[in-house]
Amino acid sequence: MINLMDWHGTRYMEYIPKHFTVVEINTNAISELLIWVLSNTSGRFGINKSQDTTLVSGPDTIKVGFENSEDATIATLVFR
């Protein structure tokens, strides 16, 4: 089944709206994270990458916001 949000390019958002459920993930593999989200969730989402200044080296903190709280739950279980 084709997801209409994928078809029209409205699934990925450049920002995370306030009503989205936000999950913080520590990773440097943003492209792998994006592929996982596109393959395993169905709702709209946004990704914000922020540099953590307290770490000299290591993974960055990525904030991923999901409109569907079920998608956020799945991501939390997989990436924690």
The per-residue pLDDT for 14 is 87
- With respect to residue 15, please indicate whether it lies within any of the assigned structural domains: no
Please write the tens of the pLDDT for every residue from 26-71: 888 888 889 999 999 988 999 987 655 555 566 778 899 999 999 9
Give the total number of structural domains in the chain. Answer: 1
Residue 56 lies in domain:
20-79
Distance from the Cα of residue 18 to its chain's centroid: 14
- The length of the chain in residues reads 80
Q: Specify the DSSP class assigned to residue 63.
A: E
- With respect to residue 8, please indicate whether it lies within any of the assigned structural domains: no
Question: Could you tell me the pTM of the whole model?
Answer: 0.78
- With respect to residue 4, please indicate whether it lies within any of the assigned structural domains: no
- With respect to residue 74, please indicate whether it lies within any of the assigned structural domains: yes
- With respect to residue 3, please indicate whether it lies within any of the assigned structural domains: no
**Residue of higher predicted confidence among 18 and 8:** 18
Give the separation between CA 65 and CA 21, rounded to whole angstroms. 5
